[in-house]
Amino acid sequence: MLDRYINLLKAGQIIAFPTETVYGLGADAWNLSAIQKVFDAKNRPADNPLIVHISSREMLHQFTDEIPEGAEKLMTAFWPGPLTLIFKKKPDVLDIVTAGLDTVAVRWPGHPLSQDIIARVGPLVAPSANSSGKPSPTKPEHIKEDFGEHFPIVEAGETQIGLESTVLDVSVSPFRLYRPGSIGQNQIENIIEKAIEVDEKNDGEKSPRSPGTKYSHYSPDARVQWLTEGTPLHSENLLYLLHQRIPEEPADNIIFFDHDYEEMAHQLYDRFRQADQNDYQTIFIEPLSPALQKKEPLAEALYNRISKAID
Ligand code: TXA
Ligand code: MG
């Protein structure tokens, strides 16, 4: 069933495939012209580096030979899984992958289909399989919206997590968190038994070291706004995403997650895309307090993605 996609990748073509976070747009990580196709298809700025996806420790060594002790512990704890680690790169890693930086981002995805594909083709670069500026795809339909009906997609339904991986730089000391995800700061610190640094607001503005975070990736066409406390919920062409505040009456335009942040993360990007299809003018989202974010890694990741969509 995978043969067609494996052959495309081996022939230097690009395909979309599922990971546990979002769908990725894959290309052979050692094929310059294939990787160029990824940038072209997404309309991605050339200064935004890609994540290399692997399925063995041996593949990791193609890209780096500087693995700090704390990174070893994190790989043991969280790989395969939704954690991207940034290492000092080996000299022959292609510049197009790293956007000319001296570091390379690597992740070992947990989805069995991604593992099968990588095991058969070799390491793949894979940004999220959306056009730049659109929300990351969590369903095959999202990819078809951006790249057309006939784009080659290894279809596997909805992705489990729904938000992109945690991105942690382990080439610096202390380690530095560039993008929060379902693996949170506390979990990382518990494993390495050290404090890490967190990019202020995770907005990347202060972090030229993670170029991608300066782009507003996550926006739907509808405006996204935090819902002010006490504001009554009404009009039909507004969409509300609530997690604590119980709606007085059920309505199609009011989605209530009832403290289920896994479900909210799972649905967020699909709700963004649906909002555009249903011509919702504004998406109001109940704020996620700092206290909640401390308790729930996904609330922190949700806050980060929603804040970017508001910018
Ligand atoms: O969950 C995910 O990570 C998904 C799935 C498909 O694996 N991929 C994904 O890739 O979200 P992308 O390209 O949409 O996001 C990669 C992020 C960008 O913010 C990029 O700037 C950052 O990782 N990044 C990549 N290489 C880096 C490097 N060497 N230094 C700093 N940041 C880097
Ligand atoms: Mg992306």
Residue after which a domain boundary falls, among 170, 204, 238:
204
Counting the structural domains of the chain, the total is 2
- Residue from 21, 22, 23, 51 to probe ligand 1 pocket by mutation (most atoms less than 8 Å from CB): 51
Ligand lying closest to the C-alpha of residue 163: 1
Residue 218 is assigned to a structural domain of this protein: no
Ligand positioned closest to the Cα atom of 24: 1
Is pLDDT above 80 for 282?
Answer: yes
Answer yes or no: do 28 and 93 share one domain.
yes
- Domain coverage including residue 69: 3-204
For 10-43, write each residue's pLDDT tens digit.
999 999 999 999 999 999 999 999 999 999 999 9
202 pLDDT more than 60: no
State yes or no: pLDDT of 1 exceeds 90.
Answer: no
Confidence band, pLDDT 50/70/90 cuts, at residue 311: confident
Q: Model confidence at 122, in pLDDT bands (50, 70, 90)?
A: very high
Domain boundary among 139, 173, 204: 204
Task: Flag the least confident range among 38-42, 79-83, 246-250.
Answer: 246-250
Give the mean model confidence (pLDDT) for residues 86-93: 98
With beta carbons less than 8 A apart as the criterion, state whether 214 and 130 touch: no
pLDDT exceeds cutoff 80 at 212: no
Mean pLDDT of the chain: 94
pLDDT above 70 for 206: no
Secondary structure (H, E, C), 143-161: HHHHHCCCCCECCCCCCCC
Q: Is the CB of 209 under 6 A from ligand 1?
A: yes
Contact 21, 162 (CB under 8 A): yes
Task: Check if 210 has its Cβ closer than 6 Å to any atom of ligand 1.
Answer: yes
| Residue 43 within a domain | yes
Band of pLDDT at residue 209, cut at 50, 70 and 90:
low
| Bridge partners of residue 17, in order along the sequence | 24
pLDDT tens per residue across span 250-273: 899 999 999 999 999 999 999 999
What one-character DSSP code corresponds to residue 110? -
User: Do 183 and 237 belong to one domain?
Assistant: no
Q: Are 302 and 181 in contact (CB under 8 A)?
A: no
How many angstroms is it from 98 CA to the middle of ligand 2?
Answer: 15
Instruction: Assess whether 154 and 118 both reside in one domain.
Output: yes
Q: Report which ligand 1 atom has the smallest distance to the Cα of 51.
A: 25
Q: Does one domain contain both 118 and 22?
A: yes
Q: Are residues 7 and 113 in the same domain?
A: yes
Q: Whose CA is nearest to atom 19 of ligand 1?
A: 212
Between CA 290 and CA 303 the distance in angstroms is 9
Of 6 and 311, the one with more pLDDT: 6
Whose atoms come closest to the Cα of 127: which ligand? 1
Q: Are 106 and 87 in contact (CB under 8 A)?
A: yes
From 204, 236, 254, the end of a domain falls on: 204
Three-state SS letters, 159-179: CCCCCCCEEEECCCCCCEEEE
Q: Is residue 52 part of a domain?
A: yes
**For ligand 1, atom 3: residue with the closest CA:** 165
Residue 160 Cβ < 6 Å to ligand 1: no
pLDDT of 207 over the 50 cut: no
How many angstroms is it from 212 CA to the middle of ligand 1?
7
List, for residues 214-227, the tens digit of each pLDDT value.
665 567 788 999 99
Answer for the pair 20, 68: CB distance below 8 angstroms, yes or no. no
**289 belongs to a structural domain:** yes
Task: Evaluate whether 51 touches 126 at the Cβ level (below 8 Å).
Answer: yes
Q: How far is Cα 85 from Cα 74, in angstroms, rounded to an integer?
A: 9
| Longest Cα–Cα distance in the chain | 60
Instruction: Note the pLDDT of residue 279.
Output: 87
| pLDDT of residue 204 exceeding 50 | no
- The string over 15-31, giving b where at least 16 C-beta atoms fall within 10 Å of a residue's C-beta and e elsewhere, is bbbbbbbbbbbbbbbbb
Pick from 114, 89, 98, 111: nearest CA to 26: 114
pLDDT band at 187 (very low <50, low <70, confident <90, very high): very high
158 and 16 within one domain:
yes
Domain membership of residue 277 (yes or no) is yes
Return d(Cα 311, Cα 305) in angstroms, integer. Answer: 10
The identity of residue 102, as a single letter, is D
Give mean pLDDT, residues 175-193.
97
Question: Of the ranges 79-88, 231-240, 302-311, which one carries the lowest mean pLDDT score?
Answer: 231-240
Quick one: 203 exposed, middle or buried, by C-beta within 10 A (0-12, 13-18, 19+)? middle
Distance 304 CA to ligand 2 centre (A): 13
Q: Is residue 215 part of a domain?
A: no
Our answer on whether the CB atom of 214 is closer than 6 Å to any ligand 1 atom is no
Q: What is the CATH number of the domain that holds 104?
A: 3.90.870.10
Q: What is the pTM of this model?
A: 0.95
Identify the sign of the CA torsion 248, 252, 254, 257.
positive
On whether both 154 and 11 belong to a single domain, the answer is yes
Can you read off the two tokens belonging to residue 146? 């951006």
Provide the pLDDT confidence category of residue 246 given band limits of 50, 70 and 90: very high
Q: Is the pLDDT of residue 241 over 60?
A: yes
Residue 210 has pLDDT above 70, yes or no: no
Q: Answer for the pair 81, 20: CB distance below 8 angstroms, yes or no.
A: yes
Residues 131 and 188 in one domain: yes
Determine the Cα angle at 139 with ends 137 and 144, to 5°: 75
152 and 240, same domain (yes or no): no
How big is the chain by its Cα radius of gyration, in Å?
19
| Statement to judge: residues 179 and 243 lie in one domain | no
In a domain, 77, yes or no: yes
Write down the pLDDT at residue 221.
80
Residues 100 and 31 in one domain: yes
Q: Is 28 in the pocket of ligand 1 (CB under 6 A)?
A: no
Residues 91 and 197 in one domain: yes
Q: Is residue 239 part of a domain?
A: yes
pLDDT band at 203 (very low <50, low <70, confident <90, very high): very low
How does residue 235 score in pLDDT terms, banded at 50, 70 and 90? confident
Average pLDDT over residues 190-200: 94
**Rounded percentage of the chain residues whose pLDDT exceeds 70:** 94
